[in-house]
Amino acid sequence: MEPIALTEKLARAVIEQSPDGLVICDQHGVITYVNDELSSMSGYGANELIGQRVEVLVPLDATARHPDLRGEFLQTNASRPMGPSGDVRLRHRDGTELAVAVALSTIHDASGRSVVASVRDISERMDQERRLQISNEALALAAERERIARDLHDTVLQHLFALGLEMQSLEMIVDNSLTARVTSAVDQIDHAIREIRTTVFTLGSAQRHGSFGQEIQDIVRQATRVLGFSPRLVIDGAAELLVPLAVRVELFAALREALGNVARHAHATEALVEIRVEQDLMVTVDDNGVGIADNSLGKGNGLGNLAARATGLGGTFDIRARATGGTRLSWCVPV
């Protein structure tokens, strides 16, 4: 075999086995070659792509301006990378779009000047970066919630305690005509203190050290003080291994809000918390309280936060009256 022929054969073998997609177009944007990886990424067979304009692989919202972009590139004749931040997309045959990084260069062959595009699938990397961003945002949110809870406890509550004590001391010295008003004011202060305590409990840090099970037990134990009873707890042992940190942060906060909602509104004497992992993480909180009216589902009571936490993770939230009395809250997210 001639050296030139051998070199061409080796080059073609390398191109065909490349982990990146490769597409070559002539100066008019007509596809003249694609390798197997590009066919796999696009969903087209090589014979279906060859002879078509490269815009068949471009997202629909960019096809109109793409010929001008090709022309600008041919004029500058400068190799360049595109899309490392995920803003470049490859249109699949089924219409879906794939995040890609593209490196452009030009070659000269017997047919004239051609454009070579090396295309790398970066969708998995972008998903990982998105998950990392969600995790970082969740951690930052948890830290901010902890700061607010600490400020409420260390400043607002202490001022209210002091004010309440001072008002109580006035009951001993004011005229009888004012005693009822002072007593009413003290009762309102006590009510405010109870509400803030519940809020502090709801906002409390989800970033404690310890195992997943211990974290959940601590949250339920804290709830006992505001509920007036100890909820029963059932945890699937697999949850320790299967629930990632970003989901744990939201789960801990959601469970606090759910139990805080029971404490504020249910007037319950019993509650059951179940945490199970199958295909999804499922959290249910059952109570034997007054139940919830059908026309109040999803309204107030902090339920919006629970729904937002679930949908933010691609999950669902539901609350409804139980047939046997009381309320069932269901919080489900993928893991």
Identify the residue with better confidence: 284 or 226. Answer: 284
Cβ proximity of 22 and 14 under 8 Å: no
pLDDT tens digit string along 60-84? 998 899 988 888 888 876 666 676 6
Tokens of 62: 């960019």
pTM summary value: 0.42
* Residue 310 scores a pLDDT above 60: yes
Question: Which residue ranges make up each domain of the chain?
Answer: 3-121, 123-205, 208-335
Homologous superfamily assigned to 208-335: Histidine kinase-like ATPase, C-terminal domain (3.30.565.10)
How confident is the model over 128-158, as pLDDT tens digits?
A: 888 888 888 888 887 887 788 777 767 787 7
Q: Is the pLDDT assigned to residue 7 strictly greater than 50? A: no
Q: Which residues pair with 331 in a beta bridge?
A: 283, 317
In the beta sheet, which residues pair with residue 117? 23, 104
Would you say 288 and 325 are in contact if contact means Cβ atoms under 8 Å apart?
yes
Note the CATH number of domain 3-121. Answer: 3.30.450.20
C-alpha of 186 from chain center: 43
Query: What is the Cα–Cα distance from 131 to 333, expressed in whole angstroms?
Result: 14
pLDDT band, residue 206 (cuts 50/70/90):
very low
pLDDT higher than 90, residue 222 = no
Other CB atoms within 10 A of residue 304 CB: 13
What's the whole-number average pLDDT of the chain?
Answer: 81
The pLDDT of residue 209 is 42
